[in-house]
Chains A and B, each alone.
Chain A
C-alpha cells in the first residue's frame, strides 16, 4: 500500500501529465482543424488553371499526393483519438481508481489508436518515398511525416499500451479479489 506522501507525489505527477495531455490535445486538435480547413477552402478557391498546372507538374503522382495527404490527416485524427483516450484514463486516475476495468479498456483503445496512427504515418512516408524516387525531377511535394523513427516510436508506445491494458485487466481482477477477502 502507498503511504500518504507517496500518494501525494503520485497525484502531483498525474496532474502534471494531465495538463501536458490537455495542451497536446489542444495543439493536435487545432492542427486537424487547420488541415481540414485548408483542404476545404483550398478546394473551393482552387482555380482550374492551378489544378491543370498541378496535374502537369506531378503527372502520374497526383492521386498519390491525395492518398498521402489523406493518410497524413487520418494519422493525425487517430493520434488525437488516442490522446483523448489517454486523457480519459488520467482523469480516472485523478478520481482515485487506478486499477479499474474502465482504465484497462481505455488503455486498449488508446494503444490501438496510436498503433493505427503510426501505421498510417509509415504508409504515407513509404508511398511518398516510392513516388519521390520514381519521379523524374524529384518534385513530388513532401506531405508525409518526416521522422520515420518517431513514427516507429509511436507504434512501440501504442503496442505497449495494449500490453499495459492486459496487465491492468489482470491487476483489476486481483484487486477485486483482494478487496473481497475478509
Chain B
C-alpha cells in the first residue's frame, strides 16, 4: 500500500500513548493498531477528523504517499 501512516511519529511528538488516543477518539486499541500497522483498507473522515482534533494536526501530518 503506497499510503503510509505516520501516527507513531505524531504520537511521539505529542508525548501521547496509543491507548489514550484510542480512548479519546472512541475506537478500540485493536482498531488503532490496525491503522498504525497499515493493515486498514480505509479511514472514515469522522475518525480522521477526531484524530486531527485530539493531536492538533493536519491529515497530511498523519498520512503520506510513497511511490
Residues of A within 8 A of B47 (CB): 182
Q: How distant is the Cα of A180 from the Cα of B30 in the complex, in angstroms?
A: 11
Closest to B41 in A: A180
Closest to B27 in A: A182
**Cβ of A6 < 8 Å from any Cβ of B?**
no
Q: How distant is the Cα of A177 from the Cα of B43 in the complex, in angstroms?
A: 11
Residues of B within 8 A of A180 (CB): 34, 39-42
Residues of A within 8 A of B39 (CB): 180
Interface size on B, residues (CB 8 A): 12
Interface of A is mostly: mixed
- How close is B55's CB to chain A, nearest CB, in angstroms? 15
Residues of A within 8 A of B44 (CB): 181-182
- How close is B54's CB to chain A, nearest CB, in angstroms? 14
**Cβ of B64 < 8 Å from any Cβ of A?**
no
Q: How distant is the Cα of A176 from the Cα of B34 in the complex, in angstroms?
A: 13
Residues of A within 8 A of B49 (CB): none
Chain A residues near B (Cβ < 8 Å):
176-177, 180-182
Chain B residues near A (Cβ < 8 Å):
27, 31-32, 34-35, 39-44, 47
23 contacts between A and B (CB under 8 A): A176-B41, A177-B41, A177-B42, A180-B34, A180-B39, A180-B40, A180-B41, A180-B42, A181-B40, A181-B41, A181-B42, A181-B43, A181-B44, A182-B27, A182-B31, A182-B32, A182-B34, A182-B35, A182-B40, A182-B42, A182-B43, A182-B44, A182-B47
